[in-house]
Amino acid sequence: MTESTASQTTAPEEKFNSTCAVEDLGATRKKLSITIPEEQIAKTIGTAYKTLQREAAIPGFRRGRTPRRLLEKRFGSAIGDQVKQELVKESIESAVAEHELKLVGEPELDVAKLDVPEAGPFTFSVTVEVEPEFPLPDLANIEIKKPIFQPTDERLDLAMQHLRRGMGNWAKTSNPAGPEDMIQANVKVLAEDGSVIHNYDEVTLAVNSAAVGGLRFENLQQHLTGAQTDKLIELKTTGPADHADEALRGKNVTVQVTPLAVSHFEAPELNDKLATDSGFDSLEDMRQSMREALTKRLTSETQSAMRSQVMRYLLERCELSVPENLSARQQNLVLRRRVSQLFSQGISPDDVSKHVEELRASSLKEATNELKTYFILKKIGEQFHVKITADDVFGVASEIAFQEGQRPEKFMQQLKKSGGFEQFVTRVFDDKVLDTLIGNAKVTEVDEATWRAEVSATAAAPAQNATAASPDAT
């Protein structure tokens, strides 16, 4: 435990006086025991009443002339709360500055339960979470591989086909539904006695869907392929015992799908007309532009692969604890993100709920790694004096926007509107820190085949180790 007098400039030639004892409660938690002398309390109260006296409009008195006794009678309770808030805020800020603490999140304190004494010092304790302290490994001799990805004709053809599909649209067809088509249909879920449990009108289904009517079916694509308008499709199943819908739990049901229309995706032909309509001189000019974009994307993938290696090196060698409360909040964010991704992939709430504990455990691991990454790169950024500018942020935004066919300004607006701008700025900073380390690393170039083989071997190793360690392994 350490103790010192904390002070902070709150106004010219005035200092806030308090004493603070700091006690370690763990790697990232500290208890601050703060004492504010009676003189400081009186000064803060006096300043509050002077401000009120200057601003309050009291009938019968000119501004600045209202007796303090009257102000105390009328506004005493409000001033008391204001003074308490200010004393707590200023004393904590002074303690943090004096002891050079790097706080994470808000202090754990219920100010409403504190009472400022009429006489004598004001004492209270507050628990805070701080950034972890840890040593950094050797940053000058990191060995990494630089995979070289070639913009081959095969890759270019795939990119051109992707571009072509991006210019297509869905159109109704009289042909039977194919594996990649869409069906608009009325869907009924019937009980064994034929009564209707659920009725869904004009539902849009992908032929390659896994579920219909709130129920999953194996090989559903086979049943929907070949569907034609007004030709009834019947599917029988038993609702899962733990289905979210009580009406379907353990019940034998029939799902009737009545197609109303079949839609097929039509993409334009790759030719000079398509190229000129898209603003290019010719199809060859379009291919050349796509090759340049492909080369740029592959260069970005190479850089990303090197960043991942550097980050893995850092995570393996940096031992640090993450703040408990911050970790819990981050875990919840990761869990919500994963659940949202599963829903967007068509996974039913029932299937997600079955694996919620697995998701929670993996989310904790991911959240811990995200926080460790943040603290490690922040510390390295400070050591190397890494700064990012508005141009850095806009430059990265422009690259991503180009790949997605958007204007950079629109991409930035969407980020801000969705609340993801701060996270994006952090990503730009992280990448700049990692690129700084790459500039000092020992880099060995490898061809793509060698790189893919090494990545596969690395991914397989943990699974093999887990199997070997399992008591049930045979």
**CATH classification at residue 184:** 3.10.50.30
Cα 59 to Cα 62, 65, 70, 268, 370: the distances in Å are 8, 11, 12, 79, 59
Question: Residue length, the chain?
Answer: 474
Q: What is the pTM of this model?
A: 0.70
Q: Identify whether residues 358 and 238 lie together within a single domain.
A: no
Q: 62 is written with which tokens? A: 């000119």
Q: Identify whether residues 109 and 180 lie together within a single domain.
A: no
Q: Identify whether residues 396 and 323 lie together within a single domain.
A: yes
Q: Quote the pLDDT of residue 354.
A: 66
Does residue 103 sit within a domain?
Answer: yes
Q: Quote the pLDDT of residue 381.
A: 96
Q: Identify whether residues 377 and 408 lie together within a single domain.
A: yes
Does residue 246 sit within a domain?
Answer: yes
Q: 327 is written with which tokens? A: 């970790």
Does residue 138 sit within a domain?
Answer: no
Q: Quote the pLDDT of residue 474.
A: 30
Q: Identify whether residues 279 and 387 lie together within a single domain.
A: yes
Q: Please write the tens of the pLDDT for every residue from 122-173.
A: 999 999 999 999 999 999 989 999 999 999 999 999 999 988 888 889 999 9
Q: Which residues of the chain have pLDDT under 50?
A: 4, 6-11, 463-474
Number of domains into which the chain is organized? 3
Does residue 164 sit within a domain?
Answer: no
Q: Identify whether residues 344 and 416 lie together within a single domain.
A: yes
C-alpha span between 274 and 164 (Å, rounded): 9
CATH number at residue 316: 1.10.3120.10
Does residue 135 sit within a domain?
Answer: no
Q: Quote the pLDDT of residue 190.
A: 94
Q: Identify whether residues 260 and 293 lie together within a single domain.
A: no
By the 10 Å C-beta count (0-12 exposed, 13-18 middle, 19+ buried), 61 is classed as: middle
C-alpha span between 68 and 66 (Å, rounded): 6
Does residue 137 sit within a domain?
Answer: no
Does residue 66 sit within a domain?
Answer: yes
Does residue 122 sit within a domain?
Answer: yes
Q: 423 is written with which tokens? A: 């996270």
**Cα 192–Cα 196–Cα 199 angle in degrees, nearest 5:** 135
Task: Give the domain range for residue 217.
Answer: 169-266
Q: Identify whether residues 324 and 257 lie together within a single domain.
A: no
Q: Identify whether residues 213 and 303 lie together within a single domain.
A: no
Q: Identify whether residues 16 and 91 lie together within a single domain.
A: yes
CATH number at residue 71: 3.30.70.1050
Q: Identify whether residues 452 and 434 lie together within a single domain.
A: yes
Q: 458 is written with which tokens? A: 């690395």
Domain boundary among 242, 266, 290: 266
Domain boundary among 235, 266, 297: 266
Distant-in-sequence, close-in-space partners of 61: CB < 8 Å, separation ≥ 6 = 67, 70
Q: Identify whether residues 57 and 12 lie together within a single domain.
A: yes
Domain boundary among 214, 239, 266: 266
